[in-house]
Structure 1
Amino acid sequence: MALGRPCSWKRVFCLSAVLSFLFCCLFLLPNATHRERQASARFFAAWQGPSQRTHPVAAASAPGGVDFGPLFSGARSEPHCEPQQVLLILVTSAPGNAAPRQVIRKTWATQDRRQPYPWQAVFLIGQTTPEGSAWQVQQEQREFRDILVGNYLDTYRNLTLKVMHGLKWALERCRPSYVLKTDDDCFVNTEWLPEFLARRNAIKTGLYAGSLFPREKRQVIRHPSSKWYVSNQDYPPNEYPPYASGVGYILSLDAVRRIMQAAEHVRPIPVEDAYLGILAQRAGLRLQPSARFAKQNARWRLCNYRYLMVIHHLSAREQEAATQSVREARSACRETLEITQWK
């Protein structure tokens, strides 16, 4: 009987490669996955992102509501709040949206003189896993001191946590008379809004004002492929209560307090403005519908800028033009009942 041929060096090499691959799969890859999970675990998140949006994390909420503690854990330096402000503007933004933030700073958020009705704008941003983006946000915060960074992953599905963190911070640290929530693609009429709230607004308490969504647009979306998907487990009813569009809504300080109390007992959903409406209903607040909040941009006449408070979807050039228009409208347009009332 002939003996088997000696194993060639090629066979030895192939066998070694196979054994190395198996060792990597069994030992190294699980450790790498564990390290990745540990890294992402630094950030509090109810919904990890679109690919995992149907699986809420159990630690995302307290029994039945939002657990605010983790949102503030590991917080870096915060914006400074001047006392006795009429208005605090919370602007939701994303880590990579440095350009829109800079446009806002140079247009409607500019304060080049002492304000008779003090106000302030603060950007709300979450955590991001790429180190470069996080470093850029830190640099921007050190330079402008107008960014509030929360301990949650910055994803669209976590916008609810972003706004809850911002409102809680406003209530506990700033305590302005009113809070406006808006987005970084919106224009805010800071030439008129703080004065309107201080002098013209007749609703001093329990104020929740914005652009009302019609009933046919308040149906809960159940399709998992939609970014507005909400499961039956998270919210059983098929229709949301009346709520204001997230492009801009105003809350009085007492309304913020009541909404934060309700949030501790109401399960969060990943549709920020609808969740705010759910909390407002739970808190006994009734929405004040107002056409002063425009969900789309249009070719406005000059005197429209004496009336509008928030306009959605403006480019950098349009932000600059709108800022100039509101300044011209102050002297060019007469005060009418429309200008001095919510509707």
Structure 2
Amino acid sequence: MNLLQISKQSIMKRRHLKYVVCACVLVYIYNFFGVSDYLYAKSFDNDFDYPLNVDIKSIVNDVLAGKKVAVTPINYYPYRFLTNSGKCSTTDNLDLFIVVKSAMDHFGHRDAIRKTYGRENVPGRTVKTLFFLGIDSEPKSDLQKEIDREMAKYKDIIQMDFIDSYFNNTVKTMMSFRWLFEHCAAADYYLFTDDDMYISVNNLLAYIHDREATRIPNAKRLPHETTTIGPKDYLFTGYVFKSAPQRFKSSKWRVSFEEYPWDKWPAYITAGAYVVSNKAMKDMYVASLFVKHFRFDDIYLGIVAKKIGITPRHCPDFHFYKKPFSSEGYLNVIASHGYGNHEELLRVWNEMNDFVSS
């Protein structure tokens, strides 16, 4: 074999190796980025039929009217409330009830909230606040003992017997809805918030007041009827997202085709902070009993809202990302993410109260 032939064979081997490497890279990219899930995803606009694929709205109406329904619930979480609170009842007249979804070890977060927007001293309005927690994997851990002392001191924690973890956020959210439905069903509005949010209760109440002062356009009414919007109407508001499932294999938020086969999410509100009216809370809770569980709580509530015809309403004064602070810039802010630093929350909240009062 001469040198020319050896050279040609060497070139062919290198080319073959390149083809093999390229093929391997393409296969890796195809799998890593979940390309097949994107290619074969169903059309959300045309084919969305998340279980149960029945008329959920009519079922909700029948349940709330005390009627028997033929459809069996598929999504009742088998957990208990380990504590309760006398802060609310089904007959209390509350303007706003604040549900704070908190992690077990976030003692500093809860203390900062108690000193700021959870103080409950809003002139002329009745506002109540409770923290909702899961449990540790060790029932008698030092962490649980510290929480027991906190509960005895403040009496503002509802603890539930599921493991407190990121992927149990939907459980925490819907168990909170259940507690409200069973123990605090008379509040006009409910604010759900994570424990690392800045919240202005005054701005939220002003937003609600402005909404209630708005007349329904082109409404026909009898003399005894009203055309104003209130808690008996649907409100589900916060920072609205419209996006698609994340299919990357390495992503914390990856959703497989088997788990959710559609190419888009329904419009949903980020779980950091959102408000529901009394009617929306009740309808969404009852509907959730007939809507298959999904592990991301904000997506799940978007699905539930979609199933019963509630349109999430975007409010620009809810900030999913942390809004840089200035007194003027925060004049209309209702909620802003990114306040895990307790001293920062206290400083910003106090500075804004002083600024507004001056």
Cα offsets for 1:40-74 (capped at 9, x unmatched) = xxxxxxxxxxxxxxxxxxxxxx9774214x22x26
Candidates 159, 162, 165, aligned match of 1:155: 165
> Relative to 1, partners in 2 of residues 1:114 and 1:182: Cα closer, same or farther, differing over 3 Å?
closer
Distance 1:306 1:171 in 2: 33
Cα offsets for 1:103-150 (capped at 9, x unmatched) = 111122124x46311111211110112322222222211111111111
Contact 2:102 2:133 in 1 (8 A): yes
> Relative to 1, partners in 2 of residues 1:99 and 1:300: Cα closer, same or farther, differing over 3 Å?
closer
Per the alignment, in what secondary structure is the counterpart of residue 304 of structure 1?
coil
Distance 1:240 1:288 in 2: 16
Cα offsets for 1:139-188 (capped at 9, x unmatched) = 21111111111121111000000000111211221121111111111011
Distance 1:261 1:157 in 2: 22
Per the alignment, in what secondary structure is the counterpart of residue 274 of structure 1?
helix
Task: Give the letter aligned to residue 152 of structure 1.
Answer: F
> Relative to 1, partners in 2 of residues 1:116 and 1:104: Cα closer, same or farther, differing over 3 Å?
same
Aligned residue number for residue 97 of structure 1: 106
TM-score (norm 1): 0.71
How far off its partner does 1:269 sit?
1.0
How far off its partner does 1:211 sit?
0.7
Contact 1:211 1:244 in 2 (8 A): yes
Per the alignment, in what secondary structure is the counterpart of residue 157 of structure 1?
helix
- Structure 1 position 136 matched with structure 2 position 146: yes
How far off its partner does 1:197 sit?
2.1
Distance 2:84 2:236 in 1: 30
- Structure 1 position 78 matched with structure 2 position 85: yes
How far off its partner does 1:229 sit?
3.1
**Which has the higher mean CA deviation after the structures are superposed, 285-294 or 188-197?**
188-197
TM-score (norm 2): 0.68
Distance 2:323 2:172 in 1: 29
Q: CA RMSD in A?
A: 2.2
Aligned residue number for residue 298 of structure 1: 323
How far off its partner does 1:76 sit?
2.6
- Structure 1 position 123 matched with structure 2 position 131: yes
Contact 1:125 1:148 in 2 (8 A): yes
Aligned residue number for residue 35 of structure 1: none
Candidates 289, 300, 304, aligned match of 1:275: 300
Distance 1:303 1:102 in 2: 27
Which consecutive residues of structure 2, in runs of 5 or more, have no partner in the other structure? 1-70, 215-228
> Relative to 1, partners in 2 of residues 1:230 and 1:138: Cα closer, same or farther, differing over 3 Å?
farther
Aligned residue number for residue 6 of structure 2: none
Aligned residue number for residue 320 of structure 1: 346
What are the equivalent positions in structure 2 for 1:39-118 lying under 5 Å apart? Answer: 65-68=74-77, 70-71=78-79, 73=80, 75-78=82-85, 80-81=87-88, 83-111=92-120, 113=121, 115-118=123-126
Aligned residue number for residue 45 of structure 2: none
Task: Give the letter aligned to residue 85 of structure 2.
Answer: E
Cα offsets for 1:222-275 (capped at 9, x unmatched) = 345433233434333232101111111110010011111221111111111111
Aligned residue number for residue 67 of structure 2: none
Per the alignment, in what secondary structure is the counterpart of residue 162 of structure 1?
helix
What are the equivalent positions in structure 2 for 1:24-39 lying under 5 Å apart? Answer: none
Aligned residue number for residue 180 of structure 1: 191
Per the alignment, in what secondary structure is the counterpart of residue 306 of structure 1?
coil
Distance 1:224 1:88 in 2: 39
How far off its partner does 1:303 sit?
3.1
